[in-house]
Structure 1
Amino acid sequence: MKILVTGAAGFIGFHLSKRLCESGIEVVGIDNLNNYYDVQLKLDRLAILEPLESFRFIKLDLADREGMAQLFETEKFDRVIHLAAQAGVRHSLKAPFEYVDSNLTGMMSILEGCRHSKVQHLVFASSSSVYGMNESMPFTTDDNVDHPVSLYAASKKANELMAHSYAHLYGLPTTGLRFFTVYGPWGRPDMAYFLFTDAMLAGKPIKVFNHGKMRRDFTYIDDIVEGILRVADKVPQPNPDWASAAPSASKAPYKIYNIGNNEPEELGVFISTLEKHLGIEAEKEMLPMQAGDVPATAANIDDLVRDVGFSPSTTIDKGLGEFVKWYKSYYS
């Protein structure tokens, strides 16, 4: 089997590619290596992947229509796991066109490539941010997601709609995964836990938004990867009994899942756990909610458990402990 992993130099893409290669699966990884955060971190991830016998890296931008078409024509992928995107809720307030180029034009390149090369299964990354102004907890995949509060969230919602149209029109089996606050070793430096660690070790105050009253379904990277792998092996089938009140499935070969820890924690608890592993008490700068943010996220994963028999279970104590060990080693 040959799998395309987009965003292979990114946080989730790196861990997934490594796991696939260790299982003996041929992986072609692409990434444009943009400078949204430290490029050296991306290069260091690739330095671990590239010696692996079953991994090949190609530097390529999703918005390069000709390059993407050529990639699909040449490689003949069995499956595609599409993780590349312009990430970051707050950055979308500053650079909106980057989200159009990467998340919308890029998704179009993926869908067209999968369609013309008859890919067996497309799995793509969505986000818990699509739930937007939804106040019903926990979030279920049958909730309405028509009220995003950031352009990033809107672009992810658009990805789900684009994917469904291709599943319907061309019979392309497609599964979207709504990730909930992913963290762990080799993570993204723009994420709160990474910024907290940077600041605490430098003796600087940490910025705590919504006065620490945020609640998040923090999900450890190994659980995310396991969920992706299990879902990738379960190719969605058309559901002839589908009713429009259940938007996570369809009469087309299309499915949406949440992947979250199913145990949301208040930000203050997350910070105190990080303090314990760093051995440092943080100086906290309490701030109001930021534009584009939501006060809480929580994942209902009943359908994930039912369909693939998996439930994320890594505690934040274990997960943050692993992150701190990696951080100290990497930045030593």
Structure 2
Amino acid sequence: MTFDPGTNRPVLVTGAAGLVGRALARRLADQRRAFIALDRVASITEDGIEIVGCDLGDVHRVHALARQGIDAVVHCGAFSGPMVARDTPHAMVQVNIVGTANMLELARVHEARRFVYCSSTSAYGVVRSAMPVTEDCLLRPASLYGASKVASEYITTSYAQQYGLSATSVRLSWVYGPGRTTDCVVRTMIEDALAARPTRMAFGSDFPRQYIYVDDAVDSLLAALDAESLPRTTYNVTGNTRVTLGELAELVRGVFPNADIVLQQGPDPVDEFQDRFSIEAAQRDLGYEPRVSLEQGIRSYAEWIDARERRRP
């Protein structure tokens, strides 16, 4: 591991108010590591973590925040999914692509030890394969969101090759778990079950998806951040499971036996069909192994949602 616990240079975490960025900042705090947490709006999390307000398009402020030096950058800041900003494509390009370029330049100028880009398996688009899909599969993104991830990955790889920046892109599959508040089938099923509401979906019973629990996603980013070397510039990271949404409903019923869930056949209208991704490279190079099963993750997510609902006035 290249991380020196004695260093006083912080890790810069973008998107720190989002699902993955917030969980990553909390983990760094638990490890007593120095970090700067950034997001568009300043806030203090429930864990007491201060998030500095900074738009990634404000390059002068970003560089000012890093003027005392930074150890590394973990770039999670972006529109987080194909269902977000569908009607504002210009904003998607500015935030997801230009924002990544700005952070890469920050890492280069301030000589960061490592740059980790939080990418997505949406970069693949529709992918069908008889064998587990590896990172070298041809990318055919089917959404602007997916295309923004591809563009950002290529820019990240170019910085690594042209400027010698130690950088990699981690392609996360569908992240779920405590802290996720954007559209999520897992959360919808849990919230409906807790409220004794029926869940009705016009698609999904035969549509596969590969989920990853938020803590496992953070494990992978930290592994990429602290790996002694990065043999690859891209890594697939999933929870190593692939289930249909119908099978997901059965797992939710295992937690809530009275859950009333009915799904129709057909694909998710804002998602792509994807065969199983190989995580062999991340296992080999980063030592990544998912620790939370889908059933365990659903239970943990349900406990978090229930506790949050009980706290509401």
One-letter amino acid matched to 1:310: Y
1:47 and 2:59 are equivalent in the alignment: no
Report what 2:51 is aligned to: 57
* Structure 1 gap segments, 5+ residues each: 34-41, 51-55, 240-248, 250-254
Paired residue secondary structure (1:30): strand
Structure 2 matches for 1:178-257, cutoff 5 A?
178-208=171-201, 210-236=203-229, 249=232, 255-257=233-235
Q: CA deviation at 1:15?
A: 1.2
> Measured at CA, do residues 209 and 164 of structure 1 come closer, stay the same or move farther in structure 2, by a change above 3 Å?
farther
Q: CA deviation at 1:278?
A: 3.2
Distance (Å, rounded) in 2 between the aligned partners of 1:12 and 1:159: 18
Report what 2:273 is aligned to: 295
Distance (Å, rounded) in 2 between the aligned partners of 1:211 and 1:291: 9
1:25 and 2:33 are equivalent in the alignment: yes
Tell me the alpha carbon deviations over residues 65-118 of structure 1, each in whole angstroms, 9 at most, x when there is no partner: 22222223x241111111111112123432222211210121111011011111
Paired residue secondary structure (1:304): helix
Report what 2:251 is aligned to: 273
1:264 and 2:242 are equivalent in the alignment: yes
> Measured at CA, do residues 100 and 213 of structure 1 come closer, stay the same or move farther in structure 2, by a change above 3 Å?
same
Contact 2:217 2:237 (8 Å CA) reproduced: yes
Report what 2:89 is aligned to: 96
Tell me the alpha carbon deviations over residues 35-84 of structure 1, each in whole angstroms, 9 at most, x when there is no partner: xxxxxxx967x13142xxxxx42111112222222223x24111111111
Q: 2:128 aligns with which of 106, 130, 135?
A: 135
One-letter amino acid matched to 2:101: M
Q: CA deviation at 1:151?
A: 0.5
Report what 2:24 is aligned to: 16
Distance (Å, rounded) in 1 between the aligned partners of 2:95 and 2:283: 31
Q: CA deviation at 1:9?
A: 1.2
Contact 1:131 1:139 (8 Å CA) reproduced: no
Moved more, 161-170 or 279-288: 279-288
| TM-score where L is the length of structure 2 | 0.89
Contact 1:128 1:297 (8 Å CA) reproduced: no
One-letter amino acid matched to 1:104: I
Q: CA deviation at 1:202?
A: 4.0
One-letter amino acid matched to 2:180: G
Paired residue secondary structure (1:331): helix
Distance (Å, rounded) in 1 between the aligned partners of 2:239 and 2:93: 30
Distance (Å, rounded) in 2 between the aligned partners of 1:283 and 1:306: 39
Q: CA deviation at 1:279?
A: 4.0
Alignment identity in percent?
Answer: 28
Contact 2:114 2:166 (8 Å CA) reproduced: yes
Paired residue secondary structure (2:46): helix
One-letter amino acid matched to 1:48: D
Report what 1:252 is aligned to: none
Paired residue secondary structure (2:127): coil
| TM-score where L is the length of structure 1 | 0.84
Report what 2:262 is aligned to: 284
Q: 1:316 aligns with which of 287, 290, 294?
A: 294
Q: CA deviation at 1:14?
A: 1.3
> Measured at CA, do residues 66 and 302 of structure 1 come closer, stay the same or move farther in structure 2, by a change above 3 Å?
same
Report what 2:4 is aligned to: none
Paired residue secondary structure (1:176): strand
Give the RMSD, CA atoms, in angstroms: 2.1
